[in-house]
A and B are shown apart, each in its own frame.
Chain A
Amino acid sequence: MAKNKKETQEQIQFTPSGTGIRTNGQIVRSTELPSPTKKKHKSLGLSEEDVVDMFHQMYLQRRFEERAMQMYQKGKFGGFLHLYMGQEAISTGTVYALNDDDDIITAYRDHGWGLVRGVSPKEGMAELYGKVTGCSRGKGGSMHFANVEEHFWGGHGIVGGHIPLGSGIAFANKYKQNDRVTACFLGDGAVDQGVLHEVLNMSQNWGLPCIYAVENNGYAMGTAVHRHSVGEIYERAHGYGMKNAVINGMDVFTVYEKMKEIAEDVRENSMPWFIEIRTYRYRGHSMSDPMKYRTKEELKEYEKLDPIERIKNYLLDNDILEQDEIDEIQDTVEDTVMEAIDFAEESDFPEKDDLYKDVFVEDDYPFHT
């Protein structure tokens, strides 16, 4: 008995086995991806123009961030920069699936969401630069893109902090009976926050028209999902009796199809869903992340599933576009992004007086000094 206890003591370790390359050299994906939809665009109700536009939108998000990363590395702007690269099928598929007046809120990895929800590349880049022409007038920066007019309620910087806000937006929609659906996106790290439990409990109890969508990209900052969270993420819904699904987030058609079905169900029944969208981020958690927690081989495995390459190949394979037309779109996007950089560089910083604006509704509030 004593011997066994001693052995156990020696074996005690609080870090469960991670993911990626295992000792046997086998590549294990951080998350197992469910199969993508087999449906083609027509049976999904998408026109050829829609598919082209989806490609355009996704490529814009990618190129915008690649250039933003370059500018950040050149020291053109500061702050955090959490890149969305690899996850673009989720933002694009969702925005296509939802109505224009459905509400979307997300966490700090928000550039893609902003761009596909009406933040122009110019306003987005200017926000990164902290310029007054930015979507949040230079007050929010990378983590706080917002376009409330277009029902994009912004990126939020406290992990899990925006989950009740999304639920409150859904609460107000139910109160007003306006049939709007709220999509509240969070990262896999946020599922470990206690507030998620509080909110899922209330949301199911009150029948809030809200989709809680976890973008499981395999890592909460640098901690692989199996090291930070027990069980399967989508299974947490079971404890609340909440409808749930696991979705392949590397395929825009799949995201579109599933989000459309789920949104329709939410709209009809006013009951929430909890979904896990499995995906992968190509870059570090933020620009300061050396990514020592994963291997190049793992990254390469996922890059084979790249959502933008996938839709590009679909366009070519189905004779929707020729290669030169793809090139043309890519050139146009490149021009758009470069114009956005010029715009950001040439824009003014906010006036010093702007420091005191937007704290309170009143302009003449007696601020303490």
Chain B
Amino acid sequence: MAELQFREAIRAAIDEEMAQDEGIFVMGEEVAEYDGAYKVTEGLLDKYGPKRMIDTPISELGFAGIGIGAAMNGLRPIVEFMTFNFAVLAADQIINHASKVRYMTGGQVEVPIVFRGPNASAGQLSATHSVAYDAMYAHFPGLKVIYTSEPEDAKGLLKSAIRDDNPVLFMESEQMYGLKGEVSEEEDFTIPIGKGKVKREGSDVTVVAHGKMYHVAKQAAQQLAKEDVEVEIIDPRTVKPLDIEMIVKSIKKTNRCVIVDESHPFGGLAGEVGYLIQREAFDYLDAPVQRVTLPDTSAPFAKNLFDEWLPSANEVIDAVNTVTYRK
């Protein structure tokens, strides 16, 4: 094991995969000469040269589509978006083309592409730079969506995403790039897409949390442990496909569930997970499923409002108290 920053884990995944497949290249704004807006791709230009590390103009729609066309024609692009907030400009290419071209040609075309970059909010970036897009893309058939929470997951899942023959959206958080964690150094270490992880075992309540919200849930669980409430945290890691079996298995043990989701409430992942739980484990529930999400507003700028806007450990604790009927 090695201790790596989140960004180093991602870089290691890209580097290891690029080393063994000439068809992999990285394209995006500032990925090459600038060494990456968040230094994820630092040093890769020196190692792989300008053919495989390509700086683009600020033209998300155009370069996302060029990546898709290149994937259709046998390459394996990794397209970096400086943030998924800007990738909305490329949504036509991702949603209307990458996700559908295989289906509409009766299986004639494969699109082995990875779109990656930071998702959701960072500190006080206000309305246009703080949106979580994992649930939105997961809505569309043909796309896989991953939103990781820890360096080891990032490395293992990104390697799998790069090897996957489907279009994959791989989401990170700019606030987590400096986060350190133990990462496997095993040769060919990968984590399968679609498999969640029990990140903390507990017997009293299941908390489902992915991406940045895993860390909020972890903080809440530590606090609750002091009050003798043992929280089991399931990180689905992959939004689509979703490891609902692991979630259901945990609920059959704990009989209670809180979903922590960085999306807005309407039509978000928490709603889908909540539906699936009531379908698969209704008889095991001792309380209605609770969710902690963003409010149904855009992100405010003011520090106090922004803090209020984000899901917090206190909100998770309150939700746990509700499902356990403690308070």
Contacts and interface: CB of A to CB of B under 8 A. Distances in A.
Interface of A: 103, 134-140, 144, 146-149, 153-154, 156, 158, 161-173, 175-176, 194-195, 198-199, 201-202, 205-206, 357-362, 365-368
Interface in B85-132: 92-93, 96-97, 101-110
Contacts of B54: 206
B73 A172 contact: yes
Contact of B62 (A144, A176, A199, A366): A199
Contacts of A362: 166
B229 interface: no
A222 B242 CA distance: 45
Interface in B36-91: 51, 54, 56-57, 59, 61-75
Contacts of B56: 202
Nearest to B67: A168
Given A158-B97, A199-B66, A358-B107, A164 B51 contact: no
Q: Sort chain B's interface into a size bin.
A: 35 or more
Given A135-B106, A167-B65, 14 more contacts: A136-B108, A148-B108, A153-B109, A161-B97, A168-B67, A169-B72, A169-B73, A171-B66, A171-B70, A195-B92, A199-B59, A199-B62, A199-B65, A361-B102
B73 A173 contact: yes
B286 interface: no
B108 A366 contact: no
Interface in B143-188: 144, 164-166
A154 B105 CA distance: 8
A349 B68 CA distance: 30
B133 interface: no
A198 B105 contact: no
Max count, chain B CB within 10 A of own CB: residue among A103, A146, A205, A360: A360
A201 B242 CA distance: 39
14 contacts: A139-B104, A146-B106, A161-B65, A165-B69, A167-B66, A167-B69, A168-B66, A168-B67, A168-B73, A172-B70, A176-B74, A199-B66, A201-B57, A205-B57
A172 B65 contact: no
Nearest to B77: A168
Contact of A138 (B61, B66, B106, B109): B106
A64 to B, nearest CB: 20
A261 B199 CA distance: 63
A164 B68 contact: yes
Contacts of B63: 164, 198, 202
B300 interface: no
B242 to A, nearest CB: 8
B107 A137 contact: yes
A257 to B, nearest CB: 28
Nearest to B164: A361
B25 interface: yes
Contacts of B25: 175
Nearest to A149: B108
Contacts of A161: 65, 92-93, 96-97
A175 B27 CA distance: 13
| Top-6 shortest CB links A-B | A168-B69, A164-B65, A198-B62, A137-B106, A172-B73, A198-B59
Contacts of B141: 359, 367
B71 A136 contact: no
Contact of B65 (A146, A165, A201): A165
Max count, chain A CB within 10 A of own CB: residue among B61, B106, B110, B144: B106
A161 B92 CA distance: 7
Contact of B66 (A154, A164, A359, A367): A164
Contacts of B104: 136, 139-140, 144, 154
Contacts of B107: 137, 357-358
B166 A360 contact: yes
Contacts of B165: 361
Nearest to A134: B106
Contacts of A136: 104-106, 108
Given A134-B106, A144-B105, A158 B69 contact: no
B142 interface: yes
Contact of B61 (A166, A198, A367): A198
Contacts of A171: 66, 69-70, 73, 75
Contacts of B142: 359-360
A163 B108 CA distance: 19
A48 B165 CA distance: 46
Nearest to A139: B106
Contacts of A175: 25, 51, 70, 75
A162 B72 CA distance: 12
Contacts of A168: 65-73
Contacts of A138: 106
B71 A158 contact: no
Interface string B238-273: 000110000000000000000000000000000010
